[in-house]
Homo-oligomer: A and B are copies of this chain.
Amino acid sequence: MREEPLSADEARIWHAWKSAGEAVMTRVVRDITAATGLSGPDFAVLTRLVDLGDGELRQQDLAEAIAWDKSRLSHQLTRMERRALVQRKPAGGKGVVVRITAAGKKTLTKARPAHARSIRRHLLTKLGRERPKTFLAICERLQSVEDEE
């Protein structure tokens, strides 16, 4: 693979991609936080608990579903428990069950419409009519791991 400096065109693509990613993510998180006080990670945890587990999941399953390592999840849950968004209880067998609290459920209910609205506003409506297909294809391609050195 070449190592020369990026051409002007290449640099422009890189910069546009990087900036667009940061801009959209920042705006969506800002909207959710403004509406509910939830952070991005808070929202990610609560949606999984409700959508995948009907309100509770074993901590290890949650980690798997959200694709975080154990440590990251443990730290996050500690902060969320402090704010009474979730609760941890020993599981039957080994491990821990994480459960959304009433307060967590209430907050999530407010956050979801704000989330959908924000994504439409900052991403979807900007794609126009024909581009979504191409855009989706590219994004799905970018996630894949490249073949080889």
Contact = CB atoms under 8 A, between A and B. Distances in A.
B1 A121 contact: yes
Question: Do most interface residues of chain A lie in helix, strand or loop, or is the interface mixed?
Answer: helix
Give the interface size bracket for A toward B: 35 or more
A4 interface: yes
Contact of A21 (B12, B25, B114, B124): B25
A3 B109 CA distance: 12
A116 interface: yes
Contacts of A127: 13, 138
Contacts of A135: 13, 17, 134-135, 138
A48 interface: no
Contacts of A146: 121-122, 125-126
Nearest to A127: B138
Interface string A115-149: 01101111111110001101110111111101000
Interface of A: 1-6, 9-10, 12-14, 16-21, 23-25, 112-114, 116-117, 119-127, 131-132, 134-136, 138-144, 146
Given A3-B116, A14-B119, A131-B134, 10 more contacts: A2-B117, A4-B113, A9-B132, A10-B119, A13-B132, A14-B123, A16-B140, A17-B139, A20-B142, A135-B135
List of 4 A-B pairs having minimum Cβ-Cβ separation, nearest first: A16-B139, A21-B21, A3-B113, A20-B142
